Amino acid sequence: MSLVGHADSKQRAATLLVADWAVDPDTVVATCAARDRRTALHLVVPAWLHGLDWAGDPFASVPCAGRQLERIIHRCRAAGLRVGSAEVGDPDPLSAIGDALEAVRVDEIVLFARGRHVARGHPFSLARRAERLSGLQVTRVAARPAPRPPRRRLLAGSHCAPVTPGLG
């Protein structure tokens, strides 16, 4: 699901931002704003399956990733950052990174995730695997969790579904 067209190929520098849908979008934008503002940003939010989600519907997190993508795009534009492309990625974050790298040419990857996914020393962390896959430098940014929506009853639908008045 692409929300923004691909950037002009004449750009000097480009960064692939990989942001977990469960991290605080303000951390993503603040980190990017502190970096070079001339760099084109290509954003992918994997429809990452956290916890026991992997055992159910493999696309259960797509609505969460879509909302996170919209939040980050909106905040980037408000901060004056240039978003060249943006899309919801595969539920497997490494596949989402690979797909994004086939679509755009970037100089580095910035990974926004929680916990072990950005651990420096762990050889099987997502960051290390992305470095091996891409041959690019991966900058790891440990991000705090996004504010959680109100809890819903089990039968109210997916964890990503918006709260419906009267149901949640």
Q: Write down the residue that tokens 């991290």 correspond to.
A: 23
In this prediction, residue 6 carries a pLDDT of 46
Q: Which is more confident, 111 or 147?
A: 111
Show the tokens assigned to 1: 């699901």
pLDDT > 90 in the chain, percent? 52
- How many Å apart are CA 74 and CA 80, to the nearest integer? 10
Show the tokens assigned to 10: 């004449």
pLDDT > 70 in the chain, percent? 71
Confidence of residue 136 (pLDDT cuts 50, 70, 90): very high
Confidence of residue 167 (pLDDT cuts 50, 70, 90): very low
Domains in the chain with CATH codes: 2-144 (3.40.50.620)
Residue-wise pLDDT for 7-27, tens only, equals 444 445 899 999 999 899 999
Compute the average pLDDT of residues 82-104: 95
Compute the average pLDDT of residues 160-167: 46
Could you please report the per-residue DSSP string of 69-80?
Answer: HHHHHHHHHHTT
- How many Å apart are CA 101 and CA 151, to the nearest integer? 36
In this prediction, residue 113 carries a pLDDT of 87
Q: Which is more confident, 143 or 42?
A: 42
Residue-wise pLDDT for 117-129, tens only, equals 555 666 788 888 9
In this prediction, residue 48 carries a pLDDT of 85
Task: Indicate the average pLDDT of the chain.
Answer: 80
Asked if residues 90 and 99 have their Cβ atoms less than 8 Å apart, the reply is yes
